[in-house]
Amino acid sequence: MTVRLHRCPWDFYKLDAHPCWKVQKALDERGIPYQVVHGPLRRGKREQVQQLTGQDRYPVIELLDGTGYREDSKAMAEAISSGRWPGEASQT
């Protein structure tokens, strides 16, 4: 089983300034398996993300225990790269 990356539907937008790509790239670089879940572009339609985190912003990582991990994308990418993110323990 893998974590799930909830992100916007813009897969083609692969610039480091894009929050979803920044986190996805960090997961890729660490070799962390994940499933991409494309969500709605409109914030008002992001019910699943709201249930996981209480807010409507991407990206969100759904951990193996069903909880959501969400921070500023730069902080998330740094935590993933350094192995300090909440999903690290479940990945080893």
Per-residue pLDDT for the chain (92 aa), expressed as one digit of tens each? 799 999 999 987 787 889 999 999 999 999 999 999 999 999 999 999 999 999 999 999 999 999 999 999 999 999 999 999 988 876 54
Place of tokens 């998330």: 76
- Read out DSSP for 8-77? -S-TT---TTSHHHHHHHHHHHHT--EEEEE--SSGGG-HHHHHHHSS--S-EEE-TTS-EE---HHHHH
Domain 3-71 has CATH 3.40.640.10: no
Q: What is the pTM of this model?
A: 0.91
- d(Cα 16, Cα 20) in Å, to the nearest integer? 9
| pLDDT value at residue 72 | 96
